[in-house]
Copies of this chain bind each other. A is one copy, B any other.
Amino acid sequence: MGGIQIHLKREERSYPIEIGELPSIEIEGKCGIVTNPKVGGLHLDYLLPKVKADELYIITLPDGEDYKNMESLTFLLDRLFDHRFDRRSTLIAFGGGVIGDMTGFGAAIYQRGIPFIQIPTTLLAQVDASVGGKTGINNRFGKNLIGAFHQPEAVYIDTYFLKTLPEREFAAGVAEIIKMAVIFDREFFNWLEGADLSREEDLRKAIGRSIELKAEIVALDEREGGVRASLNYGHTFAHVIENETGYRRYLHGEAVAMGMVLANRLALQLGLLKEEEARRIEELLKRYNLPTRYPIEDPEGFYDRFFLDKKSRGSQIAFVLPKGIGSFEIRRDIERERVLAVLRESAP
């Protein structure tokens, strides 16, 4: 057989994540600000004076995870075609994680890829969704099942937007911050125990450190082959909790908080974590009124749902477990019975 080897050059890319007051943003060509009615109504008057573009359009998508679907995506893409966006046009994702995921995915596939900027307006999106390049939509089979990796040109994080954020949503963001500290940075965790995130200065520091940690991991592993899986601490359980409760009862961060506590129990069982450390983590979560106990009615059913998760490979489930505070282990070898024992402890 005649063989030709094609070798693709990839350019290394980098982009800035800026934390502080939103700077002026100058865009050459057309710009589409993608937002939802709530964020648009509250904050477009703050954003608009700071954006300069040759042509500026506001595109409003319906609010909420339920609308993170193909229909909203098609609506977004159609508006870009209506306004004759070309490959040099830019999108700005202005909202929470749902807006970020849909805008990023739209930017990924519009004419095979156009630039986008992230301006996350929820704490969760600021510390988590805006870093990593994951974009996508849900469908009837599950969450984020259709998507792409598409990196933003820049991420601007301004805590101004958090002033209007409901308390539960704020706490859900804090859960992700605590998660980062537990798996990666003992010193950061110690600092968090003494910090007060209702204070602007502490909040900025906590956001900054969480993003630094996530950025390091993502840079090592853009496509989630290895170490990036560590970010799923608490998530393996959280996905099942969200699935069982129809994605309605808990915010994602709340499910993650309960998932972390379950992962900690498993880590305790395996001797990876001390009682005292598990208690400190739970205390910190509780301080922000995060739920830490999910009543598991049907442990076997709960266990089976692990296998519906797209992250499971074959029949092995990867559990990310804290190894003390500030370190972790990924375990794929844990017997069903051991996991079930932990799940049974959470019977209602």
A positions within 8 Å CB-CB of B = 1-21, 23, 70, 74, 77-78, 81, 86-88, 108-113, 131, 133-136, 139, 141, 144-149, 151, 204, 208, 211-212, 215, 218-220, 222-223, 310, 312-314
Q: List 29 A-B contacts (CB under 8 A).
A: A1-B18, A2-B18, A2-B19, A2-B208, A3-B19, A4-B17, A4-B19, A5-B14, A5-B17, A6-B131, A7-B12, A7-B13, A8-B12, A8-B13, A8-B14, A9-B12, A10-B11, A10-B12, A70-B74, A78-B141, A86-B312, A86-B313, A86-B314, A109-B146, A110-B146, A111-B146, A112-B136, A112-B144, A113-B149
Closest chain B residue to A205 by CB distance?
B2
> Separation in Å of the A90 CB from the closest CB of chain B?
14
Given contacts A146-B77, A310-B111, contact A219 B18 (CB under 8 A): no
- Apart from the given pairs A6-B219, A8-B13, A86-B310, 5 other A-B contacts in the complex at a CB distance below 8 Å: A8-B151, A9-B219, A87-B310, A110-B146, A113-B148
Q: How far is the CB of A131 from chain B (nearest CB, A)?
A: 7
Do A218 and B12 contact each other (CB < 8 Å), given the known contacts A20-B1, A148-B109, A310-B87? no
Q: List residues of chain B with CB within 8 A of the CB of A135.
A: 112
Write the nearest CB–CB distance from A118 to chain B, whole angstroms. 12
A146 → B minimal CB distance (Å): 5
Q: Which residues of B contact A111 (CB under 8 A)?
A: 145-147, 310
Cα-based distance from A8 to B13 in the complex (angstroms): 5
CB nearest neighbor in B for A2: B19
Q: Which residues of B contact A11 (CB under 8 A)?
A: 10
**Contact residues in B for A70 (Cβ distance below 8 Å):** 70, 74
Pair A6/B313 contact, Cβ less than 8 Å: no
Whether the pair B145, A81 counts as a contact (CB closer than 8 A) is yes
Does B86 contact A218, Cβ atoms closer than 8 Å?
no
| Docked pose: A1 CA to B4 CA in angstroms | 50
